[in-house]
Chains A and B, each alone.
Chain A
Amino acid sequence: NAGVTQTPKFRVLKTGQSMTLLCAQDMNHEYMYWYRQDPGMGLRLIHYSVGEGTTAKGEVPDGYNVSRLKKQNFLLGLESAAPSQTSVYFCASSYITSGGNEQFFGPGTRLTVL
């Protein structure tokens, strides 16, 4: 099993350009998440999905859109990139049990917006 994979690993954009980050998981998890990680701020939730065809806003959703057309994929889109979106983006997937919500993370995408 590959677990959670993210494409691309690195990307440099100019202000105003658009791009899509792809997350794929092969664990048949219902739940998928997009986070951004900035120095000194931990991980902040952008959007998440509790199942195929569903999406919901997280803590910092502005400037991002998502889609979950297939259970195994979760796409994060930036329609018009801004320098404030320079960050490391992590995707995660999980299933929920009575013991909690263990999230499995991908390796991250490092995005720089000039």
Chain B
Amino acid sequence: TQLLEQSPQFLSIQEGENLTVYCNSSSVFSSLQWYRQEPGEGPVLLVTVVTGGEVKKLKRLTFQFGDARKDSSLHITAAQTGDTGLYLCAGVVGSRLTFGEGTQLTVNP
């Protein structure tokens, strides 16, 4: 079983602060995805990173895939209250995804 560990599990910050969420595994994945989930809804894909060392930016969100394709990070600059939600990383192997436990982010006004 391939495991993905996310840290921290919970994060509560003030609006305007920066934060980083980590996703680590001992397994290699063909690609890695980040999803965001709001209460009462299913996860929604934010980004897929495919190449080792790849960096992708989505407005104030920066995603990085580790060189060995075993880990990833999500950095949010100047967090806003609208960033509040559950962030999930998922490792892709073929037709299956393995999800991390998630990071519950709360951005306070």
Contact = CB atoms under 8 A, between A and B. Distances in A.
Q: Does A pair with B?
A: yes
A40 B10 CA distance: 10
Interface residues on A, range: 20 to 34
B102 A45 contact: no
A98 B44 CA distance: 19
A99 B95 contact: no
A58 B42 contact: no
A91 to B, nearest CB: 8
A99 B41 contact: no
A90 B99 CA distance: 13
B92 A101 contact: yes
Interface residues of B, number: 27
Nearest to B4: A42
Contacts of B97: 33, 45, 101, 103
A105 B95 contact: no
Contacts of B31: 99-101
Contacts of A48: 95-96
Interface of A: 4, 31, 33, 35, 40-45, 48, 50, 58-59, 90, 92, 94, 96, 99-103, 105-108
Given A58-B96, A102-B45, 14 more contacts: A40-B9, A40-B102, A41-B101, A43-B43, A50-B95, A59-B98, A96-B95, A100-B33, A100-B50, A101-B94, A101-B97, A102-B48, A105-B44, A107-B41
Q: Which 3 A-B pairs have CB atoms at the shortest separation, nearest pair first? A: A105-B42, A100-B48, A42-B99
